A and B are shown apart, each in its own frame.
Chain A
């Protein structure tokens, strides 16, 4: 079970936006996609569930081509998308009513919708806010409602397109820990961002630059590759940056630490 992107190219009004992109995301895997603005990240997100059809190449979701119109609703249910602006993706005024929107569209019986709404709101930690007005929530809470709305459709993969870029630090933490917990529960995560410190828990990172895969690799390898990151205008996170400096002063690490916790442990050994 996986999303397979094979030689995907996409042009918009004859301008190539994505060129020959190939990668794979297995269920339960956390894949980070990073790149500066204009690298084609958001377009790629929309190709993963058939909102955009590839100009060349193909995208297969659990073996189903996203261009297969007869199966498009299955594809969209399997690959959920969460966007950047928390205000512009909530449809209903009340939390639980918004979460129910997806399952309602799928024509699921009411009793089961209620179960799924309950389940989804528990997953994102908002079960006690179910009756609240969306307009009174914080940005981080709104974004978690959006995630719950996708979860209620029981997707196997969730694509998050810069989900934290409009949030404050607390909202960012809330969303990230929700995402990590979903990964633990077996949901495949495709996390798009230009804040690399959000990808320290990713299994794999794909760097996108000018519509092409610039580099792909294990999170630890990509996040410690200062030169490559600088070349495409991204910042190496502070902890690996510091580790590289320490290495030059002959403090050696078995693995270059990515998080504060890892660094503290490494330094105390």
Chain B
């Protein structure tokens, strides 16, 4: 019944990875995502996985946190694996009822599993080592060249940062409202599609109303603290690229190219 979210949770530690420029971390993550989609061989994934292990070790993040990011998606990953295993044409290696598993399917399925796991692990590492604000600062900074053509990069970054700030608050609130309505005899898990949708009303209506109230309060609090858009705003954190940042960026480019070519 309770909702758990580990994605988007920052783990404030003091490590080499935490101290890297968030822009570099964001670019490194983007590089790894692109590379993950290009790779067609197991050995490439193995190399990338080794790189990930090194990064996790340097970040001092307990590996359990990375696995926790994977947990909610296990079903999805297994489903993808099964789909590939049974639907790819090729040499049949085993048969179960009407389903035929092929060697090609097994290979494709496993590749997909690695692809997903690496994808999620890299993104989880990013959100664990960057605070939401650093992340949005990085995004704003990387998108800022687009400002000239009227792209609202500051506004988008601010929205993201607030959304990330309020995820834990809203998750808690949703759980509380669900419990309160269940305590009034509400059925939220039974019945057909129509009934289920109807059963969501007592949860969604208060959630919306309370969220609007929060948004109102927050807007007022921001106004009181002299918020007036991105114009003329400064930042406490100055992001200055150092040799270390370029070293890590270089490393991830080298590993990326090697993983594709190997």
- In the complex, which of the residues A49, A80, A113, A149 contacts B234, with contact meaning CB atoms closer than 8 Å? A113
How many chain-A residues does the 8 Å CB contact rule pick out? 43
Least Cβ distance of A150 to chain B in Å?
7
- In the complex, chain B residues whose CB is within 8 Å of the CB of A179: none
- In the complex, which of the residues A90, A101, A109, A110 contacts B237, with contact meaning CB atoms closer than 8 Å? A110
How many chain-B residues does the 8 Å CB contact rule pick out? 31
Q: Is the CB of A150 within 8 A of B214?
A: no
Q: Is the CB of B162 within 8 A of A109?
A: no
- In the complex, chain B residues whose CB is within 8 Å of the CB of A133: 10, 12
- In the complex, chain A residues whose CB is within 8 Å of the CB of B214: 87-88
Distance of A103 Cα from B238 Cα, bound (Å): 14
Q: Is the CB of A114 within 8 A of B236?
A: yes
- In the complex, chain A residues whose CB is within 8 Å of the CB of B224: 49, 51, 76, 80-81, 150
Q: Is B107 an interface residue (CB 8 A)?
A: no
- In the complex, which of the residues A131, A135, A153 contacts B225, with contact meaning CB atoms closer than 8 Å? A153
- In the complex, chain B residues whose CB is within 8 Å of the CB of A90: 165, 221
Interface residues of B in 118-177 (CB under 8 A from A): 131-133, 161-162, 164-165, 168-169
Distance of A89 Cα from B217 Cα, bound (Å): 7
- In the complex, chain A residues whose CB is within 8 Å of the CB of B226: 73, 76-77, 102, 105-106, 153
Interface residues of A in 90-131 (CB under 8 A from B): 90-94, 96-97, 100-110, 113-114, 117, 131
Q: Is A10 an interface residue (CB 8 A)?
A: no
Instruction: With A110-B236, A131-B12 as known contacts, state yes or no: A101 contacts B165, CB within 8 Å.
Output: no
- In the complex, chain A residues whose CB is within 8 Å of the CB of B4: none
Residue of B nearest to A84 (CB): B217
- In the complex, chain B residues whose CB is within 8 Å of the CB of A8: none
- In the complex, chain B residues whose CB is within 8 Å of the CB of A150: 224-225
Interface residues of A in 28-56 (CB under 8 A from B): 46, 49, 51
Q: Is B184 an interface residue (CB 8 A)?
A: no
- In the complex, chain B residues whose CB is within 8 Å of the CB of A88: 213-214, 217-218, 221
Q: Is the CB of A113 within 8 A of B236?
A: yes
Instruction: With A93-B133, A102-B226 as known contacts, state yes or no: A107 contacts B217, CB within 8 Å.
Output: no
Distance of A81 Cα from B219 Cα, bound (Å): 13
Residue of B nearest to A89 (CB): B221
- In the complex, which of the residues A100, A105, A113, A114 contacts B228, with contact meaning CB atoms closer than 8 Å? A105
A-B contact pairs, 23 of them (CB 8 A): A51-B223, A76-B226, A80-B224, A83-B217, A83-B221, A89-B218, A90-B221, A91-B222, A92-B161, A93-B131, A94-B133, A97-B133, A101-B222, A102-B225, A102-B226, A104-B236, A106-B226, A107-B232, A107-B233, A109-B234, A113-B236, A114-B236, A149-B225
List chain A positions with a Cβ less than 8 A from chain B.
46, 49, 51, 73, 76-77, 80-81, 83, 85, 87-94, 96-97, 100-110, 113-114, 117, 131-135, 146, 149-150, 153
List chain B positions with a Cβ less than 8 A from chain A.
10, 12, 131-133, 161-162, 164-165, 168-169, 213-214, 217-218, 220-228, 232-238
Known: A94-B10, A101-B227. 17 other contacts (CB 8 A): A77-B226, A87-B214, A88-B213, A89-B217, A92-B165, A93-B161, A96-B236, A100-B236, A105-B226, A106-B226, A110-B236, A110-B237, A113-B234, A114-B236, A133-B10, A150-B224, A153-B225
